[in-house]
Every structure is written in C-alpha cells, then in structure tokens.
Amino acid sequence: MTELEDLEIQLLLEGVAQLYGYDFRNYALASLKRRIWNMVQSEGVKTVSGLQEKVLHDPLCLDRFLLAMTVNVTAMFRDPHFYQAFSAKVVPMLRTYPFIRIWHAGCSTGEEVYSMAILLHEAGLYDRCRIYATDMNAAVLSKAREGIYPLEKMQEYTGNYLKAGGTQAFSRYYTAAYERAIVRPWLREQITFSQHNLATDGSFNEFNVVLCRNVMIYFNKTLQEHVHRLLYASLTLFGVLGLGQAESLKFTPHEHDYAEVVQGQRLYRRMR
Amino acid sequence: MPYKLVVVGASLGGLHAVAALLGALSPDFPLPLAIVQHRHKESDETLRIVLQRSSGLAVCEVEDKQPISPGTACLAPPDYHLLVEQGTYALSTDEPEMYARPSIDVLFESAADAYGPNVIGVILTGASADGARGLATIKAAGGLTVVQDPATAECDVMPRAALDAGVADHVMPIPEIAALLTRLGTVVPKVGV
Ligand SMILES: C[S@@+](CC[C@H](N)C(=O)[O-])C[C@H]1O[C@@H](n2cnc3c(N)ncnc32)[C@H](O)[C@@H]1O
C-alpha cells in the first residue's frame, strides 16, 4: 500500500515538474503527502493517480494544485521579537549604507514585506531601500501586489506591530474600505514583486538583507542545501540572512560562514 | 519488535502528565520521544524548562530537520505541526487539525507512515478528541498503542476518545506506562562470542 502510494506520488511530482516546470520533488515528504491527500479529497478523485490525470490535463487544476501544495500562511509582524531584534541590531548597520537592497524570498501574500517597509520607514531608511519580493506562485504574488487585506486582521496586526516596537498609529499605514484594509500606495513604492522559484531559478542580484522565513521548512535536506547555497551567493559580505522562528543554520552547508546576530532570533550575518 | 520511536500526545492537564512520564524514565532511556502538548500559540520556553527540571532526559523544542536522536524528548514548538520523516523531524504551518496546531493526529500519522511497526503511540490527559485517529493509524501500521487510564487522567476526554477508537493495546496509569516503555525500549544486548 505505502509502496504504491509512494510510487504514485513520485509519478505525480515528476509529471508536474516535466510538464509545467514546478518542481516539488524535493519537498519535505511527510507534510507534502498530507497536502496531496487533502487535494485528492477536495478534487473528488480517489487516488493520487487520479489527481495526476486531472492536474496534467487541466491547467486550471494546476493553479489549485500549486496553492494546495504550498502553505501560504503569513501575517504582518509575525514573530514580533524578530522585528524588534532586526530594528535593534540590523538597522544600525544598514544606516551606514548609502543604498540598501533587500530580498524577501517566498513572500506569499506580502504581509511580511509591508511589515519590513513600515519598519524601515520608521527607521528613516525606506527612501534608501529597494525591496525585491518574490514567490513561485503567481496567485499569491498578485495579492501581495494589491496589498489588500481583511480589515478584521488589523487588530491582531496592530498588536504585533506594537510588540515589534512600532512607534506610530498603525492605522496610518492603510486605508479602510468595505471591510478591507488597503496598504498606502507610498508604502509600495520601493517594492518590486516578481516570480522566482527557489528550486529552479538562480541568484539574480546581491543583497544586504535576505529574508527567507518559513519557506525552507517545506523542503527536504537536499533542496534546503541548494537554497542555502543560493541565498549565500545572493548576500553581500556582512549581509544579513533572516530565517523563520523554528529554522536555523545548523547542519546547513554555510553554517560556519555566518555569525548569529542576536541569539535565538534567527538573524545571521555573512562573515566570509 | 524493536521499537525506534515513542510519540506522545497530551492536552489539558498535560504539563503534569508529561512531566510525570518523563520523570519516571531513567536518564539512559534509549528511545527518542516526540511530544505534542497542546498550548497557546504564543507560549514561550516555560514548558520545555519545566519538563527539563523533572526529567533526566534531554528535553528540547524541535528545530526544523533536527535529527531524531535516542534518549531525547522533543516537543513540538507552539503554532507548528510536528511531523516525522525518516531520521529527522519536520515542521509545518499547515492548517490546524481539530483546532490544534500542533496536532497529535498529524504527529502520529506521520510517525506511522515513516516508522510503521516500530512506533509506540501514547495518549495522555486532555479535553479534545485529537490523537484518536492517529492512534488508530499507528495500530493499523503494526505499532503499539498505549492510553492513559482515564480514571487517572486530569481530564479523561482525550483518553476516552482514544479508547472509543477501539485500538488501545494497553490502558494504564502513567507510572506503568513508564515501566512498559522502559521494558520495550531496552534492547537485550547481543552476547558477543
Ligand atoms: C508559509 S509562506 C511564508 C511567508 C512569509 N515569508 C512568512 O514567513 O510569513 C511560504 C511561501 O513560500 C512559497 N514557496 C514555496 N515553495 C517555493 C519555491 N520553491 N520558491 C519560491 N517560493 C516558494 C509559497 O508559495 C508560500 O507563499
């Protein structure tokens, strides 16, 4: 049973990679399997092979597949302590640069990117920054570009923002209309959103800061190593890498090329 | 059957129950333990620290892709599902299951998938039905299933739900669970010639 299941999954991922170029073959298997089975159910098919047939023959089903295979959960000022540490320890370093390039890899619907823009604005650095926000999924990217979020979320985000050390009224950063919070256009000015797949695309610039948070936990060791090499190659010397709360550089290829910036806060500086 | 992994699920009342279980295992208990304790998504390190105080085993909160190592008790971090892969733990922020993240079912089902008959699943106190399905999956894969005697649980809802699934090999109070694990974990050493 499991052997057949594993074979079907392998064939499904192989087919999607060859036909569409989206490569999930090196995603962490345990959680990917659960998402595949959830989609088998939601598509009303019986087997993974049934799902394969649907995805390969119906491009609309591919769009659903991409969303179903990835986890897009995100929030503004998610893990407020991270932003606090960033303000305290990374911002002073950025002040010494005339121009600052930042990459959010796996930005999902953009909440993290706007949070960073707000932080940099309050630090008086935003004018000097260029933020590149990428994700492999065009659907979440277009939401990120719009910057429109449910108004009801703003209470939670305001709390996060204050815990992160925000100094203004959070409502300055959006306009409310029809149960929606729309991010102020000036906040979007320095941000470029574009499609980039960490599994298959290469490095496209050199950055002073790279944030890749809660993305690599969905990858297996092989793909994680590949991405760590890519991120390392995309950072300037003394550039800073930010990871998610449960991620670390332990057991990764460049573990010893970075120094921890703040203990426990998943911020690492490239030292060589 | 040489067991390779113990997975433990606890909810309401679990702090004391898990502390009692870990406290009753000797510091050289050889199997890895993976633990899901339901808790608030913003909880800090307190749980780990409290458990560490009552246990001779190393207690840690899992970092992504951490190797599964013997004699270590690993907790799911708050707001993440904990899953088992071959040889490593993995984390995810997929949707909560039965309102829970971490979810006991997610841990148990992934453990059964990766380690089949070599898993021991343990359900302790709680006010949820999480874990019942996962325990059934462990049983179906040939693993061993243990449920805390509901009469001894701070909250008997979760042990009862697990018993209702009809797949428990053992129903016992915590000290006996610890004794059972100790017996099963101790591999009889091969006598060399
Ligand atoms: C859980 S979200 C993380 C969002 C944000 N960084 C945060 O921490 O809140 C993960 C995102 O990674 C993206 N992703 C998954 N695989 C990817 C890949 N191979 N290349 C680029 N992005 C990917 C998903 O589309 C999803 O939007």
Going residue by residue through chain A, which has 272 residues, state the pLDDT in tens, using 9 for 90 and above: 578 999 999 999 999 999 999 999 999 999 999 999 999 999 999 999 999 999 999 999 999 999 999 999 999 999 999 999 999 999 999 999 999 999 999 999 999 999 999 999 999 999 999 999 999 999 999 999 999 999 999 999 999 999 999 999 999 999 999 999 999 999 999 999 999 999 999 999 999 999 999 999 999 999 999 999 999 999 999 999 999 999 999 889 999 999 999 888 899 999 99
ipTM over 0.85: yes
Read off the pLDDT of each residue in B63-88 and give the average, rounded to a whole number: 95
Q: What is the pLDDT of residue B192?
A: 47
| A63 and A101 both lie in a single domain | no
Q: At which residue do the structure tokens 């999956």 appear? A: B137
Residue B193 has pLDDT above 50, yes or no: no
Classify burial at B189, counting beta carbons within 10 Å of its beta carbon; exposed 0-12, middle 13-18, buried 19 or more: exposed
What is the residue range of B32's domain? 5-185
Atom of ligand 1 nearest to the CA of A74: 9
Mean pLDDT for chain B overall: 94
Token pair of A223 as six digits: 């793909």
How many domains does the structure of chain B reveal?
A: 1
B124 inside domain: yes
The tokens for A65 are 């597949």
What is the model's pLDDT at position B191? Answer: 56
**Do A100 and A135 fall into the same domain?**
yes
Residue A239 φ then ψ, to 5°? -70, 160
Ligand 1 center from residue B109 Cα (angstroms): 25
Nearest atom in ligand 1 to the alpha carbon of residue A66 is: 25
Ligand 1 interacting residues, C-beta cut-off 6 A: A 70-74, 78, 106-108, 112, 135-137, 140, 197-199, 213-215, 218, 244; B 93
Is residue B190 in some structural domain? Answer: no
DSSP B52-93: HHH-SSEEEEPPTT-B--TTEEEEPPTTSEEEE-SSBEEEE-
In a shared domain, residues A116 and A190: yes
Residue A50, H or E segment: helix A48-57
pLDDT at B190: 52
CATH code, domain carrying B79: 3.40.50.180
Residue A134: the pLDDT is 98
Cα–Cα dist A269/A125, whole Å: 20
Q: What is the pLDDT of residue B189?
A: 52
Full residue range of the structural domain in which residue A165 is found: 80-270
A266 within a domain of the structure (yes/no): yes
- Of chain A, the end-to-end C-alpha distance in Å amounts to 49
Task: Provide the CATH number for the domain around residue A230.
Answer: 3.40.50.150
Q: Are A117 and A191 in contact (CB under 8 A)?
A: yes
Residue B188 has pLDDT above 90, yes or no: no
A134 & A221 share domain: yes
Could you tell me if A240 and A124 lie in one domain? yes
Separation of alpha carbons A74 and B159, rounded Å = 34
Tokens 């050493």, located at residue: B189
Least Cα separation, residue A247 to chain B (angstroms): 5
Q: Which tokens go with A109?
A: 């619907």
Q: pTM here?
A: 0.93
- Inside any domain, residue B74: yes
**Cβ-Cβ contacts under 8 Å for A129 (sequence gap 6 or more):** A100, A101, A102, A117, A120, A190
- pLDDT one-digit tens code per residue, A106-139: 999 999 999 999 999 999 999 999 999 999 999 9
Q: Is B192 a member of any domain? A: no
Which of B117, B177, B110, B104 minimizes the C-alpha distance to B143? Answer: B117
Mutate to test the interface with B, among A2, A3, A4, A31 (most CBs of B within 10 A): A31
Number of residues in chain A: 272
Mean per-residue pLDDT for B119-123?
98
The pLDDT assigned to A264 comes to 84
